[in-house]
A and B are shown apart, each in its own frame.
Chain A
Amino acid sequence: DSGVTQTPKHLITATGQRVTLRCSPRSGDLSVYWYQQSLDQGLQFLIQYYNGEERAKGNILERFSAQQFPDLHSELNLSSLELGDSALYFCASSPDTGANVLTFGAGSRLTVL
C-alpha cells in the first residue's frame, strides 16, 4: 500500500457521460498530481494541485477538470466522455511542489463504451 488511495478502481460508463475520480494523498503530502495512461502508453501529465491551488497544467482536455479540497483530497472530473478517454488514471502525491519523488496510487481504470 503506497498510502495514496484512489477510487473507484474500475469504472465502466457510456459515451457522453460524466464521471468523477477521487484521490486521497499520502498523509502529510500537500501536492496531488493526475496522470493518464492509455493502453500501452506512457504517463501523460494532466494537472497538479498544491495545498488546494492549481500549480501546473499539462495536456488536460477542456472537458476535464480537477480540484483539491481543504482536506487535501482531490477529484478529477471527466465530462462528455469519448471512447478515447478509456484509460488508467493515476493520482500521485508528494510533500511539496517540487514534483520530485512522487508516490502513485493504484489507479482508476475507466472504460467508455
Chain B
Amino acid sequence: GQQLNQSPQSMFIQEGEDVSMNCTSSSIFNTWLWYKQDPGEGPVLLIALYKAGELTSNGRLTAQFGITRKDSFLNISASIPSDVGIYFCAGQRLTIQGAQKLVFGQGTRLTINP
C-alpha cells in the first residue's frame, strides 16, 4: 500500500530547542495534515495544508506543503514539556476509483528533557 516515510522516528531534545520533522512520499498528495497524539489519547489535528508551497503557522508550530506535493515538514520552535508526544503526518490523495484516501506516516516520538 501507499507509504509515507516519516522521520525521524524518535527525537530526544532539551527543553527550549527547536524541532524539525518531515514526511516524504513517492506519490503526490493534495492535502497534508499534521496530528499530535498525547499518551493515552487520540490524535489531534495541529495543522492542515491544502496548497503546494503553502507555509502555515499555529503558534510555535510551522508546517509547509512541499512544492512537489510529495513532502511536508513540521517545525516546533522553543520546545516546552507539553510538546511531548507522537507527531503524525498524513497525506490525502484522490484514488483511481475517485475516493479520497488518507495515509498516515509512522509517527515521530518526541521526548523532552527538562
Contacts and interface: CB of A to CB of B under 8 A. Distances in A.
B88 interface: yes
Interface stretch (A13-21, A61-69, A78-86, A96-104): A96-104
A4 B99 contact: no
A9 to B, nearest CB: 9
A101 B42 contact: no
Interface size class of B (residues with CB under 8 A): 20 to 34
Interface residues of A, number: 25
Interface string B80-112: 000000001000100000011111111101000
Given A59-B1, A106-B41, A101 B33 contact: yes
Nearest to B99: A56
Tell me the interface secondary structure of chain B in the complex: strand
B100 to A, nearest CB: 4
B107 to A, nearest CB: 5
Q: A interface, by DSSP: helix, strand, loop or mixed?
A: loop
A42 B105 contact: yes
A82 B104 CA distance: 25
A40 B33 CA distance: 20
A42 B88 CA distance: 8
Interface string B18-45: 0000000000000101010000111111
A9 B41 CA distance: 10
Interface in B31-85: 31, 33, 35, 40-45, 48
B48 A104 contact: no
A102 B99 contact: no
B99 A104 contact: no
Interface of A: 2, 4, 35, 40-43, 45, 55-56, 58-59, 90, 92, 97-107
* Nearest 10 A/B pairs, CB to CB: A104-B42, A42-B106, A99-B102, A43-B104, A99-B100, A98-B100, A104-B43, A106-B42, A42-B107, A105-B42
Interface of B: 1, 6, 31, 33, 35, 40-45, 48, 88, 92, 99-107, 109
